[in-house]
Structures are given as C-alpha cells and as structure tokens.
Amino acid sequence: MNSERVGGNNRRGAEKPDWLKERERDLARKKKIGEFAVGLAAMAIVGMVLSHSARTSEIMENEERAKNVKKIEAEGIIFHDGVNVRREPFVGNTEPNQLASIGEEGEQVAVDYDGDAYYYNNHNDANGGWYGFEAVELADELLEDGYIAEMDAGRLKSDEKSGDGIVWLNENYVTVIEADLVDQESAGE
C-alpha cells in the first residue's frame, strides 16, 4: 500500500516555489479587499434602503394627509365621554401616542375654540375619522376652563416642539361647532 497523499507533490520539508507563495499572498490580499468591499456595499445598501423607506413614508404620510384633510373654521368644540388626545390620528398599540384625556365617560365638555380645526378620514382605519386642533390653543382653552391639569396642558403643548403642533381626537367623541353655522344661526334669528 502506498502511503503518499493523493495529488501531493510536496514532500515534507520541501518549500513552495516563490511564484506559488506570491500567488497565494496575492489571492489572500484580493480576498480581504473583496470581503471589505462586499461589507461596505452591504452597509451602503442597507443605509439607502432605510433612508429611502423613512423618506418615502414621511412623504406619503404628508401627501396622504394633504389630500384627505379638510380644514374647518371652528368657533367651539364639544368633547363627549372622556376622549383621548393623541399626537397622531391613529391608535398606536405598539407605540402609544396619547397625550391627555378630556372629561369623563358620560360627560360633555364644551370649550370656545376660535381657529382652524382639521378633519382627517383614513378609510383604512377601523376607528374612522379624526379631528385635529392647534395644540397650544386647545391646551390653553382646556386649562383656562379647568378641564385639564397643568401637566396635561404641558404634554399637549409639547407637540408644538416634538410634532407638527396639531393634536388629534377621534370623531366619535368630538363635535366641532363651525363658524359658518354659528354665523348662519345668528343671521336667521
């Protein structure tokens, strides 16, 4: 039986030829450069995908709202049954966006609110439509009438700095008194 390895021209103690050593070093160097380039390319692709998806969702959200938001000139608001004030017009189960609550169940809270209100209806949202109000103005009105505490008012006003300055309430718990309706009723009397 033969004890030599198959395909093994190298005998123990025999050195590799210089050209073979150089070739192996060259391949090892190219392999390291290739691995680095692939890693760098992968990081760049992941970065582009993340930044693109963030930018796209932001643009889509703004365009979506711009198309579906109706601006209303309001003279007052009535809140029903203890409504939650939210940073965004949705109920977030994974990332709650509740800022405060107004009133109690079975109670109505009416405030003067002279300014713009917004109505947003996302047909894909099981909760229906949402009314948006200027955070600072709403907080001031609610605080002045004693319907929320100083701390809640501060949370509402914080949306001015950390958000878009508009807070949202579900349409099922809000009645907006439009300025046109008040003017028409006054003229009819």
Task: Return all residues near 145 (Cβ < 8 A) that are at least 6 apart.
Answer: 109, 111
pLDDT band at 6 (very low <50, low <70, confident <90, very high): low
Question: Are 175 and 113 in contact, with CB atoms under 8 Å apart?
Answer: no
Tallying the residues shown for the chain, one arrives at: 189
Contact 118, 166 (CB under 8 A): yes
Full-model pTM: 0.62
What pLDDT, on the 0 to 100 scale, is given for residue 21? 84
CA atoms within 13 A on the CB side of 12: 3
pLDDT digits (tens, 9 = 90+) for 149-186: 999 999 999 988 888 889 999 999 999 999 875 455 55
Dihedral sign (CA 101, 119, 112, 109): negative
Q: What are the tens digits of pLDDT across the range 109-131?
A: 999 999 999 999 877 888 889 99
Q: What is the pLDDT of residue 58?
A: 35
73 near 178, Cβ under 8 Å? yes
What would the two tokens of residue 143 be?
């605080």
52: number of CA atoms within 13 Å, CB side?
Answer: 6
| Residue 76, amino acid | G
Q: What pLDDT, in 10s, does the model give residues 18-70?
A: 888 888 888 888 787 877 777 666 666 665 544 433 333 333 355 665 677 88
Spans of all domains in the chain: 70-188
Top-ranked range on mean pLDDT: pick from 76-80, 90-94, 127-131:
76-80
Residue with the larger pLDDT of the pair 93 and 146: 146
CB contact at 8 A, 153 and 174: no
Q: pLDDT digits over 126-158, tens only? A: 888 999 999 999 999 999 999 999 999 999 999
More confident position, 79 or 91: 79
How far, CA to CA in Å, does 110 sit from each of 103, 142, 145?
A: 10, 9, 9
Q: What is the DSSP letter of 123?
A: T
Q: What is the pLDDT of residue 59?
A: 30
Q: What's the rounded Cα separation, in Å, for the pair 78 and 63?
A: 29
